[in-house]
Structure 1
């Protein structure tokens, strides 16, 4: 009984660490500076007042113009999301991450609707400000996804913000979001951000070395 009690106590402590306020803040702001978390981004007003907001970021050693083509071609049945395709395809999202820029998917404009798998709500382009901001809103109005590209030291800070509506009465959904969606989205989105970074950096012409 003592070992059982110790084991249960250990599990409780791990759960407290994994789902406590500090851990949740890390899940939702991984890679982002406090200034980036607080910054207003174009598209925030598309879904104001929601309590589930994530802001994650990565530094890319490439200018915004080199990052932008990888963003505009993303999507189901397009260039994928540069993350774990096998996980997304278990959900029927038809994601196949491209390793090159696809000319046929470079034209994107406000009002275009990109499918999110065969059954999900489409994602409507709400902001398309080359090469600064790309923002989508789901057709059911419950999700806004914003990408901001900010020049920094010759490279780019790529900031990804998700705003998701969670009905206050839907206790089960709120628990599922806290236990599964928030940590799970960090795993998927972090891989996506590093996938964009690696592709954008590797697509640049090789820098000429400076003679000693």
Structure 2
């Protein structure tokens, strides 16, 4: 067998292994079979989606404590809590909840680059439960466009949806779903398959980790503060008894 034939066979084998085993695992990382099969609000926004993923993680805080971290996301805002060098221009994502970034509404634009030339549009906002961001990019410029108007000859259209569900222990199950499509279809599928899906897995996995760290630290600080306040009240009560 020649080196060329052998190399081709190895490449085909690696591609088949990725398609059969690794790719499905990446696209459903952390999600249960039920979560992956469930329909969520906004699924209908992207009809005939050619790419889909459902990833999930459990966070050590109730949904109302996780929600403020999500609504303040964005370039020039809190960042994305992922690999900041790649998705936030090297600027570190914030480690605190910022009050002035909490007012988000359907139709608002969430910038993805400092210039604002590309952005997510808020499609669904159900406080404490669902946040759906939609991206419509003209290709190859990468600039956002309004899908309600004339469609460009080449584009990518997709949603990034965050669904929060309260667990029996009071913590949060965060389920993140993506659905996308593009024109030309073949080129879009190849790009998504080779680069888009692996990149999303890397960035989403990191975001889960960073969100977990942030909400855990805030919950711990809140618990310490409550314990400290209770101890202060107890000490004041003891002093009154001694008088």
TM-score class normalised by the smaller sequence: 0.7 to 0.9
Q: How does 1:181-200 map to 2 (within 5 A)?
A: 181-200=196-215
List gaps (5 residues or longer) in structure 2: 137-144, 148-156, 228-243
Change (3 A) 1:187 1:50: same
**What is the aligned partner in structure 2 of residue 65 from structure 1?**
64
The answer on whether the counterparts of 1:78 and 1:95 sit within 8 Å (CA) in structure 2 is no
Greater RCO structure (CA 8 Å; 6+ sep)? 1
Structure 2 counterpart of 1:165, from 181, 184, 189:
181
> Residue 129 of structure 1: CA displacement?
0.9
Find the aligned partners of 1:8 and 1:46 in 2 and give their Cα distance.
40
2:122 maps to 125
Deviations, residues 159-182 of structure 1 (Å, cap 9, x unaligned): 111111123x44233212111111
- 2:195 is aligned, of 161, 164, 180, to 180
How far, CA to CA, are the matches of 1:85 and 1:188 in structure 2?
A: 10
SS of 1:203's partner is helix
User: Structure 2 CA distance, aligned partners of 1:81 and 1:95?
Assistant: 10
Which segments of 5 or more consecutive residues in structure 1 lack a partner in the other structure? Answer: none
CA distance in 1 between counterparts of 2:42 and 2:4 reads 50
Provide the rounded CA distance (Å) in 2 between the counterparts of 1:15 and 1:119.
Answer: 37
Q: Which residue number in structure 2 is paired with residue 111 of structure 1?
A: 107
CA offsets per residue over residues 134-154 of structure 1, 9 Å max, x none? Answer: 112225441111100001132
Query: Is 1:97 matched up with 2:93?
Result: yes
Aligned Cα root-mean-square deviation (Å): 2.3
Q: How many residues align?
A: 203
- Residues 33-79 of structure 1 show CA distances to partners (whole Å, capped at 9, x for unaligned) of 11111111111122122121111110111100110011001011111
Q: Give the conservation status (yes or no) of the 8 Å contact 2:163–2:175.
A: yes
Q: 1 CA distance for matches of 2:200 and 2:6?
A: 31
Q: Which stretch shows the higher mean deviation, 119-128 or 97-106? A: 119-128
Residue by residue over 1:82-101, the C-alpha shift from the partner in whole angstroms, topping out at 9 and shown as x without a partner, is 11111225xxx575311111
Contact 2:129 2:163 in 1 (8 A): yes
User: What TM-score do you get using the length of structure 2 for normalisation?
Assistant: 0.75
Measured in 2, the distance between the counterparts of 1:34 and 1:184 equals: 23
